[in-house]
Structure 1
Amino acid sequence: MRLPRVALVAALTLSVALPAGAFETRARAAWVYDMTTQTVLLDKNAHEPLPPASMSKLMTLNMLFEALRDGRVNMDTTFAVSTRARKMGGSTMFLNEMDRPTVRELMQGIAINSGNDACVVVAEGLAGSEDNFARQMTERARQLDMNDSHFANASGWPAPEQRMSMHDLGVIATRLITEFPEYYPLFAETEYNYKDRAPANAHNRNPLLRIKAADWQADGLKTGHTEEAGFGLVGSAVMGERRIIFVVNGLASETDRAQESEAIANWAFRQFVLKTVVEKGTRLAEAPVWLGSASKVGLVPAEDVRLLLPAGALEDVKAEAVFDGPARAPFKAGDPLGQLVIHIPGLDEPTVVPLVAQSDVEKGGFLVRLRSAAAHLFSRAAQTASDAAGS
Structure 2
Amino acid sequence: GSKMFIEVGKQVKIKDLLFGLIIQSGNDAAVALAEHIAGSEEAFAEMMNIQARALGMKNSHFLNSTGLPADGHTTTARDLFILTQAMIRQFPEHYDWHAIKKYTFNNIEQYNRNKLLWRDQTVDGVKTGHTEAAGYCLVASAKRDDMRLISVVLGTPSEEARATASTKLLNYGFRFYETRTLYKAGKSLTDARVWKSEKGKMKLGLKKDLVMTIPRGDYKLLKAELEVNSQITAPVSNGQTLGKLIVQLGGRTIATRPLVALENVPEGGWMTRAVDSVRLMME
Would you say same fold, with TM above 0.5?
yes
Aligned counterpart in structure 1 of residue 130 of structure 2, from 192, 212, 225:
225
Structure whose CA Rg is larger? 1
Residue 106 (structure 1) aligns with: 17
Residue 45 (structure 2) aligns with: 138
Unaligned runs of 5+ in 2: none
Q: Superposition RMSD on alpha carbons, in Å?
A: 3.8
Residue 194 (structure 1) aligns with: 105
- Assess, with a 3 A threshold, how the Cα gap between structure 1 residues 349 and 162 changes in structure 2: closer, same or farther: same
Residue 148 (structure 2) aligns with: 243
Residue 275 (structure 1) aligns with: 180
Residues of 1 paired with 2:27 and 2:280: CA distance?
Answer: 73
Matches within 5 A, 1:86-97: 90-97=1-8
1:321 aligned onto 2:245: no
Unaligned runs of 5+ in 1: 1-89, 381-391
- Assess, with a 3 A threshold, how the Cα gap between structure 1 residues 289 and 258 changes in structure 2: closer, same or farther: same
Give the TM-score normalised by structure 1.
Answer: 0.57
Residue 341 (structure 1) aligns with: 246
Aligned to 1:193, what secondary structure does the other structure show? strand
Higher relative contact order (CA 8 A, sep 6+): 1
Residues of 1 paired with 2:34 and 2:241: CA distance?
Answer: 47
In the alignment, is the contact (CA less than 8 A) between 1:206 and 1:222 conserved in 2?
A: yes
Aligned counterpart in structure 2 of residue 155 of structure 1, from 66, 79, 83:
66
Shift of 1:154: 4.0
Residue 260 (structure 1) aligns with: 165
After the TM superposition, which of the residue ranges 345-354 and 218-227 deviates more from structure 2? Answer: 345-354
Q: Which amino acid aligns with 1:143?
A: I
Deviations, residues 162-188 of structure 1 (Å, cap 9, x unaligned):
433334433443444344444433221
Residues of 2 paired with 1:374 and 1:159: CA distance?
Answer: 65
- Assess, with a 3 A threshold, how the Cα gap between structure 1 residues 96 and 329 changes in structure 2: closer, same or farther: closer
- Assess, with a 3 A threshold, how the Cα gap between structure 1 residues 346 and 241 changes in structure 2: closer, same or farther: farther
Q: Which amino acid aligns with 1:112?
A: I
1:234 aligned onto 2:146: no
In the alignment, is the contact (CA less than 8 A) between 2:137 and 2:154 conserved in 1?
A: yes
After the TM superposition, which of the residue ranges 352-361 and 257-266 deviates more from structure 2? Answer: 352-361
Residues of 1 paired with 2:137 and 2:187: CA distance?
Answer: 45
Q: Which amino acid aligns with 1:212?
A: D
Number of aligned residue pairs? 277
- Assess, with a 3 A threshold, how the Cα gap between structure 1 residues 157 and 317 changes in structure 2: closer, same or farther: closer
Residue 301 (structure 1) aligns with: 205
In the alignment, is the contact (CA less than 8 A) between 2:244 and 2:256 conserved in 1?
A: no
Aligned to 2:97, what secondary structure does the other structure show? helix
Q: Could you say which structure has the higher strand fraction?
A: 2
Shift of 1:233: 0.8
Aligned to 2:4, what secondary structure does the other structure show? coil
Aligned to 2:67, what secondary structure does the other structure show? coil
Shift of 1:206: 0.7
In the alignment, is the contact (CA less than 8 A) between 2:188 and 2:262 conserved in 1?
A: no
In the alignment, is the contact (CA less than 8 A) between 1:287 and 1:325 conserved in 2?
A: no
Q: Which amino acid aligns with 2:173?
A: A
Residues of 2 paired with 1:207 and 1:165: CA distance?
Answer: 22
Shift of 1:191: 0.8
In the alignment, is the contact (CA less than 8 A) between 1:340 and 1:355 conserved in 2?
A: no
In the alignment, is the contact (CA less than 8 A) between 2:234 and 2:265 conserved in 1?
A: no
Residues of 1 paired with 2:107 and 2:13: CA distance?
Answer: 16
In the alignment, is the contact (CA less than 8 A) between 2:34 and 2:44 conserved in 1?
A: no
Q: Which amino acid aligns with 1:301?
A: G
Matches within 5 A, 1:36-55: none
Q: Which amino acid aligns with 1:231?
A: Y
Identical aligned pairs, as a percentage?
Answer: 31
1:211 aligned onto 2:119: yes
Residues of 2 paired with 1:376 and 1:157: CA distance?
Answer: 62
Residue 115 (structure 1) aligns with: 26
